[in-house]
């Protein structure tokens, strides 16, 4: 299938466009850009220098991919990258920044959906099948695992890690590391497990869900300190891969060094219940 470029679009001669790419009116593709086959850029899309897109991406009007990092320290002369996978949807006004340090990259996986006005900051890594709802924002140097959903206006502080299948409710905010499979509400408040997401995940079986619930109970319902809960988790030698990933995430968060030593969010509802019992 032939590439189609609207007469009003501006495409640098050094840009590499795959078969079937469609570039809409008034879109701009800068030098050193690679766009995979069957991508469509609608009206007014800007793809900045050093950006790579895989195949089958759909970019709605006025999105800007690969813009310079929003960082006072960034030197525009640095050669840094944005690397995007395949089959993603970027809705109107989405912005994703390239990295800051020379040779580094912001990375977006495949099968993601970035809704209107959502943002991913420099040097962040976003996994597969991630959803950022309207105006959700991820700061720089974050790690967002597969299957995460950030609801409208949810925000993630810089240097934070979000585990797989986490769901952040609308207007939620996090400045700590969020273990896999949980729901986040308010500011740094774990509200429980993402049970709907766990049931829908075809790679997580009944035994996995039981083990994940046990891991969650040890961390958030047992009254143990996180280090003590981790010791109890280590004693479970029959856990499958999903529960082990929960345990490994907790370990990594507790052992993280600056600037990643952000700790874990608390389950405030459980804290209030414990205080009431006293």
Q: What is the pTM of this model?
A: 0.94
- Return the pLDDT at 1: 76
pLDDT for 168 beyond 60: yes
Residue 191 has pLDDT above 60, yes or no: yes
Q: What is the pLDDT of residue 278?
A: 42
Catalytic residues: 122-123, 140
Q: What is the pLDDT of residue 274?
A: 46
- What mean pLDDT value characterizes the chain? 95
Tokens of 93: 């006004």
In this model, does residue 35 exceed pLDDT 70?
yes
Structure confidence by residue, pLDDT tens digits, 239-274: 999 999 999 999 999 999 999 999 999 996 554 544
- Alpha helices per DSSP H over 144-205: 195-200
How far CA 278 is from CA of 228, 271, 275, in Å, comes to 21, 11, 5
Contact between 150 and 166 under an 8 Å Cβ cutoff? The reply is no
Q: What is the pLDDT of residues 73-84, one digit of tens each?
A: 999 999 999 999
Q: Describe the strand order of the beta sheet including 125-126 as a list of residue ranges.
A: 16-17, 34-35, 51-53, 81-84, 105-108, 125-126, 143-144, 161-162
Q: Is pLDDT of 30 > 90?
A: yes
pLDDT the model gives residue 229 = 98
**Starting at the edge strand that comes first in sequence, how are the strands of the sheet with 28-29 ordered?**
10-11, 28-29, 46-47, 64-67, 95-97, 119-120, 137-138, 155-156, 173-174
What CATH number was assigned to the domain covering residues 4-203?
A: 2.160.10.10
Domain ranges across the chain: 4-203
pLDDT in tens, 98-149: 999 999 999 999 999 999 999 999 999 999 999 999 999 999 999 999 999 9
Across the range 161-170, mean pLDDT stands at: 98
Q: Mean pLDDT throughout 1-9?
A: 94
pLDDT on residue 224: 96
| Residue environment code for 167-206, b if the CB has 16+ CB neighbours within 10 A, otherwise e | bbbeebbbbbbbbbbbbbbeebbbbebbeebbeebeebee
In this predicted structure, the answer to whether residue 277 has a pLDDT above a threshold of 50 is: no
Secondary structure (DSSP) of 19-82: TT-EE-TT-EE-TT-EE-TT-EE-TT-EE-TTEEE-SS-EE-TT-EEEEPPS-TT--TTS--EE
pLDDT in tens, 211-235: 999 999 999 999 999 999 999 999 9
């Amino acid at each position: 299938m032939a590439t189609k470029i609207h007469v009003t679009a501006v495409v640098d001669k050094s840009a590499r466009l795959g078969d079937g790419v469609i570039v809409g009116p008034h879109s701009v593709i800068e030098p050193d850009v690679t766009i995979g086959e069957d991508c469509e850029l609608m009206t007014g899309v800007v793809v900045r220098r050093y950006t790579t897109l895989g195949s089958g991406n759909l970019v709605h009007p006025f999105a800007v991919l690969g813009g310079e990092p929003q960082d006072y320290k960034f030197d525009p002369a640095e050669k840094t990258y944005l690397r995007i996978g395949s089959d993603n949807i970027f809705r109107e006004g989405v912005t994703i920044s390239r990295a800051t340090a020379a040779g580094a990259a912001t990375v977006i996986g495949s099968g993601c959906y970035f809704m209107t006005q959502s943002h991913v900051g420099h040097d962040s890594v976003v996994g597969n099948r991630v959803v950022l709802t309207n105006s959700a924002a991820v700061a720089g140097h974050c790690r967002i695992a597969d299957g995460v959903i950030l609801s409208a206006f949810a925000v993630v502080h810089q240097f934070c890690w979000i585990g797989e299948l986490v769901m952040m409710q609308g207007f939620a905010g996090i400045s700590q590391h969020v273990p896999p499979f949980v729901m986040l509400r308010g500011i740094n408040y774990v509200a429980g497990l993402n049970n709907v997401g766990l049931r829908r995940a075809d790679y997580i079986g009944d035994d996995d869900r039981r083990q994940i619930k046990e891991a969650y109970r040890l961390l958030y319902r047992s009254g143990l300190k996180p280090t003590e809960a981790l010791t109890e988790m280590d004693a479970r030698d029959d856990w499958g891969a999903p529960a082990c990933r929960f345990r490994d995430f907790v370990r990594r968060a507790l052992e993280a060094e600056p600037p990643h030593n952000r700790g874990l969010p608390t389950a405030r509802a459980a804290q209030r219940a414990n205080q009431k019992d006293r």
